[in-house]
Amino acid sequence: MKPPRPTSLARVAGLVLLAPAAAAPLPGPSSSWVTPATPVIGAVRVAPAGPAAPAPDSTSFALEHVTVIDGTGAAPEPDRTILVREGRIVAVFPTGSRSLPQGTRTENLSGRWVIPGIVDAHVHLTGGPADMEHYRKLLSWALRGGVTSVRDMAGDDRVLAYLSREASLDEIESPDIYYAALMAGPTFFAEDPRVAGAAEGQVAGRTPYLREITTATDLRLAVAAARGAGATALKLYANLPADLVRGLTAEAHRQGMLVWTHSTIFPAGPMDAVRAGADAISHSAYLAWAAADRIPQDYGIRARADYTHIAPDDSRILSVLDSMKARGTILDATLWVFAHEAAEDSAAVAPGLLDWEAAVTREALRRGVLVDAGTDDMGSPEDTVPNVHREMAWLVEHAGFTPVQAIEAATRVGAMTIGQEATRGTISPGKRADLVVLSADPAANIRNSRRIVEVLKAGRAYTPGP
């Protein structure tokens, strides 16, 4: 099944600028090789005819005079040049401090800011009948909203394998997709109605990517089957005791897979997951169970801890956070989604949860724990922007992050969560040219992360919008 062809397409200076034919002209300053009189066709700048120029290096371009927020947590660096070749960043340096390779095309981004491509570290793309047109529309919208990578935390891996391949080959407009195989105790598959859609045509709990685990399970074969489904990680979800969490984590790591868990797996608790070696744990709110007198068997109570009487700085919770810091375990806080649920139904979350999860995330930051930006709900094309921008705002406005720290959470730490920190997540030489160009300063106001001028994925540029 071939994806729809873009309505307009041109290659300019090694960038492919894609936009709907009816879109307005691309916002931003004129590129240095385009005169103000240059016609604009479908928001794609086309150079006018004229005398023959030196042959350009079609794989290289430079973004000049831009303020760089590189994703490392460092302060913004004004008036920088980002040199890109073949979809990767070659160098970042003060504009004018060194000469560019002959034939390199340039774009003047004076008055613009650039951050790394955003990673939404917690999404669920699939479930129910596979609707490829819906997925293409959703993924294109997410990419044009600044999201260049996502971590899918359980769904139909048959569909995800297809979408992931298409995205990696740029056959569809999409963030790159990294996804998990879910493993849980048998009671989860018997009780949770959501798994039926993801297992359509098969028996939930008996598939390689939705697998029930017991003491009788051959963990080596279960992990190998998950890996064969194309998953890069296991998600340990619910109804697993500590010994099975340890066994699955050890086997997954032996086979080169990551391990992502809920922060409480019921009955395995937060410290069990951390000590087992989980690479990332999700939901700050569930850390409260580390200080509960008893962790129940039933995962259905996961958002019903005693947030009124358990203090976010309880010594047992601080011990978990310190162990996470020591081991490099990433906290996938997911603050916004609980606030969203509470806004729709005040009874959906326990009393005190929202303030509690913000406070414990603030404590995690203070103690040096790595925190990513995950939404648990990426959003839809009917929304103005993907929800990861709202998660970043929640980190700043409720959990004590600076805007630069929130950007780091959504870029560098997100890349670490998906195991791709060597190739993306920061604006630095050797990394992929996954970049988001903004018209306002996100370091001054994190909500300016939504002021998108264009998005580059591996050097290919997209305008914002449908």
Residues of the chain under the 50 pLDDT cut:
1-55
The reply to whether 103 and 133 lie within a common domain is: no
The reply to whether 19 and 76 lie within a common domain is: yes
Residue 422 lies in a domain: no
Residue 466: the pLDDT is 64
The reply to whether 313 and 442 lie within a common domain is: no
The reply to whether 316 and 335 lie within a common domain is: yes
Global model pTM greater than 0.75: yes
The reply to whether 349 and 233 lie within a common domain is: yes
Residue 2 lies in a domain: no
The reply to whether 249 and 348 lie within a common domain is: yes
Residue 58: the pLDDT is 60
Residue 286: the pLDDT is 98
Domain of 329, CATH number, reads: 3.20.20.140
For residues 293 and 382, what is the distance between their CA atoms, to the nearest angstrom?
Answer: 44
Residue 127: the pLDDT is 78
The reply to whether 101 and 200 lie within a common domain is: no
For residues 378 and 121, what is the distance between their CA atoms, to the nearest angstrom?
Answer: 10
Span 63-97, pLDDT tens digits: 999 999 999 999 999 999 999 999 999 999 999 99
Residue 348: the pLDDT is 85
Give Cα 373 to chain centroid, integer Å.
7
Enclosing domain of residue 330: 116-417
For residues 443 and 461, what is the distance between their CA atoms, to the nearest angstrom?
Answer: 23
Residue 46: the pLDDT is 31
Span 404-456, pLDDT tens digits: 999 999 999 999 999 999 999 999 999 999 999 999 999 999 999 999 999 99
Residue 57: the pLDDT is 56
